[in-house]
Each structure stands twice: as structure tokens, then as C-alpha cells.
A and B are shown apart, each in its own frame.
Chain A
Amino acid sequence: MSDHQDIEKKEFNITIYTENQVGLLNRIAIIFTRRKINIDSLNTSPSEVESIHRFNIVITESEEVVRKLTRQIEKQVEVLKVYYNTNEDIIWQELALYKVSTDVIAEKVSVERLLRENGARAVVIRKDYTVFETTGHREETDNLISILQPYGLIEFVRSARVAIIKNSEGFNTKLREFERMEPGEEVVENEYLNRGQKVFTM
């Protein structure tokens, strides 16, 4: 990775495996806020392992900054492991909800076409309003906003991003290693190892 790429800002997805403890969200959040870094998206959820929590955090920063942040996060006592990935490395989704007037929709738009074209579905249809839902990338959820805006979009909300790392084997085996007194080397990865010979040249 060239130095230029290292300092170029782009979207990074930070995945954090943690214990489920009160106060940890603050401990992680202040690592960003102390450096005046805005969190674009933050999601906490259970993970594939019972009792282990998973944070997905999206920020727009350079890789150099992201690398330093991940080390600071991993240093926290209740954090087991932190990964960072670019958008190419992950499968990600965001969910959005749109509330519109049922009358307007019924009068002016072919509802069926709208749903089909945007991969949306109606969650609730009431006399006074209808709520649509779509799941997808940012562009897709944004697209439906612009379509619905002319018909009087009453409310819009989008969820935080959830992401699956493409080449991850999950955390089950890793956790067993962490529970051992002396975990194997593969658990405590060292990014320098991946750089191989580049680390040191005489």
C-alpha cells in the first residue's frame, strides 16, 4: 500500500467484538470524539457468539488514522478484537422506512410499480398513511426518497449500517482462543506479518 493511499480519506467499516457491558459504548465513542472524528454510522448488535456484542462503525478517514483508532479501541479492556475494512471487503446493508399519505399514493402513483422498481415493500397500510421499507446500499435508499418527495414524504428514517466481512470465518473459534490463558499467535494478529519482507530491508 503506497503512502498516498494511506492518507487518502475514504469510508472505512470498523467491526468490534466486545463483551456486553454498560459504559463500553461511551468508552468506544470517546476514542472518536476526542480526535474530533465524526461517526457516520454506528450499530450495536449481538454477534454469532452468545454474549459477545458486535459494533459496526462507519467513518470517513485515511487508513493511517483508522489503523491508529483501531489500536486504541482494541486496547480497551472489554474489547476482544477490532477489524477495519473498506467497502469492497464487506457485504453491507442499510434499512430505510418512508411514511407517505395513503391517499396521495393511491391517487397519483401506481403503488405496485413503485414497490417493484425500488425493491420496497409496504410494512403498514392504513387509511391515513402507508409505511414502505427498503434495504440496500445508500444510493438505493436515497433513490426512493427522491421518488417519494414529490408525493409528500411525511417521515424518513434510515438505520445504521450492518456489515459482514467477506473473508471472515466468524468469531467462534477465536473466542475459544481468547478464553485460553495463552492464546495462539493467529488470534493476536500482527499486521506487520502480512507485510512480510517489506517490514525490514537492509
Chain B
Amino acid sequence: MEVAQQEILNTPAKETVNITGSAAVLEALIAEGVDTIFGYPGGAIMPIYDALYDYNEKLNHILVRHEQGGIHAGQGYARTSGKVGVVFATSGPGATNLVTGLADAQIDSTPLVCVTGQVFAHLLGTDAFQETDVINITTPVTKWNYQVTDATEIPEIMAKAFYIARSGRPGPVLIDITKNAQIQLFDYEGYMPCNHIRSYRPKPIVRSQYVEQAAALINQAKKPFILFGQGVILGGAEQEFKAFVEKSGIPAAWTVLGAGAIPTSHPLNVGMLGMHGNYGPNVLTNECDVLIAIGMRFDDRVTGRLDKYAKQAQVVHLDIDPAEIDKNVKATVPVWGDCKETLPMLTALIEEKQHTDWVNKFHDYTRQEVEAVIHKELNPTEGEMTMGEVIKQLNDLTNGEAIIVTDVGQHQMVACRYAQFNKTRSNVTSGGLGTMGFALPAAIGAKYGAQDRTVVAIIGDGGFQMTCQELGTIMQSGVDVKIIILNNHFLGMVRQWQELFNSRRYSFVDIESPDFVALAAAYRIPGKSITERVDLQDALKQMLETKGSFLLEVNVLKENNVFPMVPQGCSVSEIRLK
């Protein structure tokens, strides 16, 4: 096999080598620069795993404990590395276990290539053992999917899969390969990467007239306001974005997935948008005169009530996906295109300005928010610990250099609000889908995607119990992931809503937990549980200084609420501080 591989790599096109479909899959991964695969074997994908046995030195396969864990790890890897995450799963239940992760990656535009095994082609449609119609099940939650029944298709299909997953607005691709195609020998001509599909247009053509119109609008604006999302990060346009913000002098606020596109501490970074975002950005959305949305899609958690959202403003919307323009908020000027191209064009045309009075308005609101919410959340001196103070202490110890992976719920909102991000690709969370159980496996992938960085997973007591089997993956792979469980002994976000909107009828939110430290110990992962404020700093230090993984459980205030909050059905300017 070693010899055969050598030949393949040195073979000029058209001279062929006889290889199996399975080997062709792995050759494609190597040609695409893949170094890590997250997967789980099973009957219908056994030929690929058999081939993998010989590729062990070139491809690092991480054996997960559940396919959902595999795909979330793939997502974490993609988010921190900027590369395509690769996931293997078998047919039937293996494939259906990917669905949550596919939906998550689809809504959060994460590039993935998932390879699933499938029963022999002659058994399709016969209700064979572990047969499921994975193509039709995954169609709504993939950017593209394809079923291979003949090995000769594999090189071209894998090339298309990687091209589609990473180009334009990225997304998950699933390739389902029947067992006969994996086994089949065929004449392999070498791997040709794909860079054009006639029916697929990853980027709309940039039209300079719109850039000019956008610049004119921005130049005459008195109270312009920038909203930025993950598009800036996905486009690798952080520098271009920073240049635009600094030249224009316009205050900029971020969506949850946009966090870190410019450092948290940047003077023009005015905070987080949306339901649990900062006070100023929400209130002033309804006061600005020109709203400049960059690489974001006006999710309902950002806009609140849409018919009372920024009605006074003219809207400039920069997005790579034409379907996002006018979908939720009508654009006055649509700037279709990759923001890596459109932002420099726009920056060149805008006047250098400072909007001091307008920026100060944001600071005024910040002061009110600090007084009403932030101060007591970050610096409490008595009572039980808060989630916010844990994040603050963590910021101080990591200097904002860590990758923060969060799950879903109160701890997620608190972490996103207060974590300090100096670098891009530092905030990994399930934004659009809100997948509890995301963080632990995603943190494993995040570490493989950025091996020289510290990865801290911040998880609630509920979400941790959804995918805690991945402690086994950590144990076996030896990956270094720091885990903080913020345990408020409740499904906190639902409890908060029940308190505020359902007259404190706490319906099934009182969740019991195992001894998390003992659980970690069962997986040979050291851990600690703390309840007292005096122990917090030392415990965090111990966690960060421990070589390898560490689990820290912090017992926090049980009935604490995340504020500010834009209640559902309310306008962003009706944001509540308490």
C-alpha cells in the first residue's frame, strides 16, 4: 500500500493506478490538505476504515463516542482552523446521528464534508440492515449532498464536495457512498481539485455602482451604525473590516457569531447585539440614520420585533448570499459580494471621520448598563458566585487569548457578553440552531483546529449531560481541553423565561447532576468542584496550568437571570435592564 500511494502521488495525469473507491476517498482528503478526521466506524463504512488502516500516518483519525460528537468536533475544527471539517459515519443510525450537527453547520455556515457509508447499491430501497434514506433526510440541512454508487465517481465528487463546502457562503456537504463503491477497484487518474461548477455561483458579481451608493450614504450619515456578523470571519476580512471601521469612525456592534472579528477592546467595538446583547447597541439601532450590516443575516434574536426594527434608518447590507438581502430587513443599498472584496472598495470611497458625540451616546448607555447589570455580575462581593465573575477571572488569567467554546443557554449568553476576544476565530458556539451538547465535542475539534491555543469549553450542567460521553474521546486522544461547568442546578435559560413570563411555574427545569468530578475521574481526567468565591482564582489557575484536560465545576447562583433582555415580541429599544 505504501508503494501504491507513492506511485499515485508521482503519477502524471492519465496514467492510471488501480485502487479501491475507499482509497480514492482518502487520497482526496490528503490532496485537499485534510489532517484530521472525526469519525466512528460501522458495517457500511468498513471498507473505508480498512483503507484508513494504511493511511494512519497521513490522516489523524479521532475516534469519537457518538456521531453527533463527531460532527460537532468537525464543526469546532472548522471554526478555529478556517479549514473544512471532515467527519466519517456509517449508514443508518450513524448517518441519522449526524443530522443535528448538519443542521447546526447549515444555519451557522460551517464548512464540513461528511462521508457516510451506505448499504450495497443493489440493496437500496429494500429496507436492508442499517439502511436509511440519508440523502433525503439530510437534504434540508446540507448545502449539497450526493450518493455515490460507483467508485469511478469518487475523485470528482470529493473534489466538488470540498469546493462547495468551503466556497461562497460555506456549509455542510454530505457524501453517501454505497459499500460496493467503496470496495470496487477502478483506474484512478489522480486527483483534480474543483474550482468551477457551471450551475454554482459562490460569489455574486460585485457591482461598483452599489458600493458608490453605499459610500455616498455613509458619507452623509450623522448617526451611522455598523452591525457585523460571522461573514467577516468567514471571508477572512478582519483586517479589511478593521480598516473600514477605523477610517469611518463608526461604532460597530456584533452578532454572537461575529464576536472577535475585531478585538473586544477596540474603541469602536460597542458591544453585542440582540436579545441578551448590550444596552446601547439595541436602543440605538432604533436611533441611527444609516445601518451598515456586514456579513450578518438579521436573525430574529438580533432584530426582535421586525416591524419596529430600525424603521428610521437607511440600510446598507453587505452579504455574499443574495438570498439574505431583503429576507428580513429591506436594504436601501444592497452590496452583494464577498466582504473581503467589497469592504476595501467601500473604505476607499468613504471620508475619514470621527463621530465623537454619537459614539459617546453608546458609552452613556454602557455606563447605565454597568451600573444596573454588569458591575454586580462581574464583581460581586457577597452571596453565591455569578457566571459573569467566572468569565471575568478567566479573561484576566488568559488575557483574552483563549478560544472560548460555549454550549447553549444562560452561560452562553454570559460568556459571549463578557469574554474578551483579542483574536479572530476565538468564539465557538452554536448560534443559529442553539444546540445543547455542542460545546464539549466542539471544544475537542477546536483544539485540533488550533493546537497552539488554549481551548476552554464553558458549559452548563444541562448541556454537559447531553454529550458527556465525549469525555471518552478526550481520554483516548489525550487532547487538551479545559472544561468549566457553570452549574446553577437548573436548566437556567428556560427557568429564567418561566420566572419572567410563566409566573415562576418551574416546569421540568430542576435538573439533577452526577458528581461531575467523579465522572471526569472515571475517564482519568483531573477535576475540581468549587462553591466559594475565595477558591475561584486558584481553581482557574490550576485548571489552566494543568498539563492536559481538566474539568472545573463552579457552583453558581441558582436563580440568576441574564440581563439586559429584549423579551420575545418586543422591539430592540424596549430592552429591559432588569
Q: Show the binding face of A for B, using Cβ within 8 Å.
A: 18-19, 22-23, 26-27, 30, 34, 67-68, 71-72, 74-75, 77-80, 175, 178-179, 181, 183, 185, 188, 190, 192-193, 199-200, 202
Contact A71 B220 (CB under 8 A): no
Contact B139 A26 (CB under 8 A): yes
- Report the separation of the CA atoms of residues A193 and B136 in the bound assembly, to the nearest whole angstrom: 37
The one of A72, A178, A202 in contact with B199, judged by C-beta atoms closer than 8 angstroms, is A178
- Report the separation of the CA atoms of residues A4 and B377 in the bound assembly, to the nearest whole angstrom: 49
- Please give, as numbers and ranges, the residues of chain A lying within 8 Å of B322 by CB-CB distance: 71, 74-75
A23 nearest in chain B by CB position: B135
Contact A200 B217 (CB under 8 A): yes
Q: Distance (Å) between the CB of B190 and the closest chain A CB?
A: 22
B103-156: which residues lie under 8 A (CB-CB) from chain A? 135-136, 139-140, 143-147
> Can you pick out 11 interface pairs between chain A and chain B where the beta carbons lie within 8 Å of each other?
A19-B199, A30-B140, A80-B198, A80-B199, A181-B196, A183-B205, A185-B205, A188-B205, A190-B204, A192-B210, A202-B217
Known A78-B199, A80-B198; judge A200-B327 contact (CB<8 A).
no
Contact B326 A68 (CB under 8 A): yes
Contact A71 B323 (CB under 8 A): yes
- Report the separation of the CA atoms of residues A23 and B175 in the bound assembly, to the nearest whole angstrom: 13
The one of A26, A75, A78, A192 in contact with B334, judged by C-beta atoms closer than 8 angstroms, is A192
- Please give, as numbers and ranges, the residues of chain B lying within 8 Å of A200 by CB-CB distance: 213, 216-217, 332-333
Q: A23-B136, A72-B323, A188-B205 are in contact. List 4 more A-B contacts (CB 8 A).
A: A75-B321, A77-B200, A188-B201, A200-B213
Known A178-B199, A188-B201, A200-B213; judge A23-B323 contact (CB<8 A).
no
Q: Distance (Å) between the CB of A198 and the closest chain B CB?
A: 11
Contact A190 B336 (CB under 8 A): yes
- Please give, as numbers and ranges, the residues of chain B lying within 8 Å of A193 by CB-CB distance: 207
- Please give, as numbers and ranges, the residues of chain A lying within 8 Å of B98 by CB-CB distance: none
- Please give, as numbers and ranges, the residues of chain A lying within 8 Å of B3 by CB-CB distance: none
User: Does B45 have its Cβ within 8 Å of any Cβ on chain A?
Assistant: no
- Report the separation of the CA atoms of residues A156 and B196 in the bound assembly, to the nearest whole angstrom: 47
- Please give, as numbers and ranges, the residues of chain A lying within 8 Å of B140 by CB-CB distance: 30, 34
- Report the separation of the CA atoms of residues A146 and B220 in the bound assembly, to the nearest whole angstrom: 65
Q: Distance (Å) between the CB of B397 and the closest chain A CB?
A: 44
A29 nearest in chain B by CB position: B139
Q: Most chain-B CB neighbours within 10 Å: which of A22, A79, A200, A202?
A: A200
- Please give, as numbers and ranges, the residues of chain A lying within 8 Å of B213 by CB-CB distance: 199-200
The one of B144, B147, B323, B334 in contact with A77, judged by C-beta atoms closer than 8 angstroms, is B144
Q: Distance (Å) between the CB of A126 and the closest chain B CB?
A: 37
Chain B 311-337 near chain A by CB (<8 Å), digits 1 or 0: 000000000011100110000111010
A185 nearest in chain B by CB position: B205
B322 nearest in chain A by CB position: A71
Q: Distance (Å) between the CB of A116 and the closest chain B CB?
A: 47
User: Does B4 have its Cβ within 8 Å of any Cβ on chain A?
Assistant: no
The 5 residue pairs across chains A and B that have the minimum distance between CB atoms: A71-B323, A200-B213, A80-B199, A178-B198, A77-B200
- Please give, as numbers and ranges, the residues of chain A lying within 8 Å of B333 by CB-CB distance: 199-200
B163-206: which residues lie under 8 A (CB-CB) from chain A? 164, 195-201, 204-205
Contact B323 A75 (CB under 8 A): yes
- Report the separation of the CA atoms of residues A22 and B204 in the bound assembly, to the nearest whole angstrom: 26
Chain A interface mostly: mixed
Known A68-B327, A185-B205, A199-B333; judge A30-B139 contact (CB<8 A).
yes
Contact A202 B220 (CB under 8 A): yes
- Please give, as numbers and ranges, the residues of chain A lying within 8 Å of B196 by CB-CB distance: 181
B199 nearest in chain A by CB position: A80
Q: Distance (Å) between the CB of A200 and the closest chain B CB?
A: 5
A192 nearest in chain B by CB position: B334
- Report the separation of the CA atoms of residues A78 and B204 in the bound assembly, to the nearest whole angstrom: 16
- Please give, as numbers and ranges, the residues of chain A lying within 8 Å of B145 by CB-CB distance: 23
- Report the separation of the CA atoms of residues A169 and B326 in the bound assembly, to the nearest whole angstrom: 28
B136 nearest in chain A by CB position: A26
- Report the separation of the CA atoms of residues A80 and B197 in the bound assembly, to the nearest whole angstrom: 10
- Please give, as numbers and ranges, the residues of chain B lying within 8 Å of A34 by CB-CB distance: 140
- Report the separation of the CA atoms of residues A19 and B200 in the bound assembly, to the nearest whole angstrom: 10
- Report the separation of the CA atoms of residues A102 and B207 in the bound assembly, to the nearest whole angstrom: 65
- Please give, as numbers and ranges, the residues of chain A lying within 8 Å of B143 by CB-CB distance: 77
A79 nearest in chain B by CB position: B199
Q: Distance (Å) between the CB of B382 and the closest chain A CB?
A: 51
- Report the separation of the CA atoms of residues A59 and B286 in the bound assembly, to the nearest whole angstrom: 36
Known A68-B326, A185-B207, A200-B333; judge A77-B199 contact (CB<8 A).
yes
Q: Distance (Å) between the CB of A83 and the closest chain B CB?
A: 15
A17 nearest in chain B by CB position: B199
Q: Distance (Å) between the CB of A185 and the closest chain B CB?
A: 6
- Report the separation of the CA atoms of residues A23 and B148 in the bound assembly, to the nearest whole angstrom: 13
- Report the separation of the CA atoms of residues A30 and B216 in the bound assembly, to the nearest whole angstrom: 40
- Report the separation of the CA atoms of residues A77 and B196 in the bound assembly, to the nearest whole angstrom: 11
- Report the separation of the CA atoms of residues A192 and B213 in the bound assembly, to the nearest whole angstrom: 13
- Please give, as numbers and ranges, the residues of chain B lying within 8 Å of A72 by CB-CB distance: 323
- Report the separation of the CA atoms of residues A67 and B164 in the bound assembly, to the nearest whole angstrom: 24
- Please give, as numbers and ranges, the residues of chain B lying within 8 Å of A67 by CB-CB distance: 326
- Please give, as numbers and ranges, the residues of chain B lying within 8 Å of A79 by CB-CB distance: 199
- Report the separation of the CA atoms of residues A139 and B332 in the bound assembly, to the nearest whole angstrom: 42
- Please give, as numbers and ranges, the residues of chain A lying within 8 Å of B147 by CB-CB distance: 22-23
B201 nearest in chain A by CB position: A188
- Report the separation of the CA atoms of residues A27 and B142 in the bound assembly, to the nearest whole angstrom: 10
Contact A18 B205 (CB under 8 A): no
- Report the separation of the CA atoms of residues A190 and B144 in the bound assembly, to the nearest whole angstrom: 24
- Report the separation of the CA atoms of residues A83 and B146 in the bound assembly, to the nearest whole angstrom: 26
The one of A68, A74, A179 in contact with B198, judged by C-beta atoms closer than 8 angstroms, is A179
Q: Distance (Å) between the CB of B141 and the closest chain A CB?
A: 10
Q: Distance (Å) between the CB of B217 and the closest chain A CB?
A: 7
- Please give, as numbers and ranges, the residues of chain B lying within 8 Å of A78 by CB-CB distance: 199-200
- Please give, as numbers and ranges, the residues of chain B lying within 8 Å of A74 by CB-CB distance: 322-323
Contact B199 A18 (CB under 8 A): yes
Contact A77 B197 (CB under 8 A): yes
Contact B326 A202 (CB under 8 A): no
- Please give, as numbers and ranges, the residues of chain B lying within 8 Å of A77 by CB-CB distance: 143-144, 164, 197, 199-200
- Report the separation of the CA atoms of residues A23 and B321 in the bound assembly, to the nearest whole angstrom: 23
- Report the separation of the CA atoms of residues A190 and B335 in the bound assembly, to the nearest whole angstrom: 11
- Please give, as numbers and ranges, the residues of chain A lying within 8 Å of B195 by CB-CB distance: 181
- Please give, as numbers and ranges, the residues of chain A lying within 8 Å of B199 by CB-CB distance: 18-19, 77-80, 178
B197-241: which residues lie under 8 A (CB-CB) from chain A? 197-201, 204-205, 207, 210, 213, 216-217, 220
Q: Distance (Å) between the CB of A118 and the closest chain B CB?
A: 42
Q: Distance (Å) between the CB of B166 and the closest chain A CB?
A: 13
- Please give, as numbers and ranges, the residues of chain B lying within 8 Å of A18 by CB-CB distance: 199
- Report the separation of the CA atoms of residues A68 and B199 in the bound assembly, to the nearest whole angstrom: 19
A182 nearest in chain B by CB position: B205
Contact B139 A23 (CB under 8 A): yes
A67 nearest in chain B by CB position: B326
- Report the separation of the CA atoms of residues A34 and B141 in the bound assembly, to the nearest whole angstrom: 12
- Report the separation of the CA atoms of residues A190 and B204 in the bound assembly, to the nearest whole angstrom: 9
Q: Most chain-A CB neighbours within 10 Å: which of B139, B164, B195?
A: B139
Q: Distance (Å) between the CB of A79 and the closest chain B CB?
A: 6
- Report the separation of the CA atoms of residues A46 and B201 in the bound assembly, to the nearest whole angstrom: 22
- Report the separation of the CA atoms of residues A67 and B147 in the bound assembly, to the nearest whole angstrom: 31
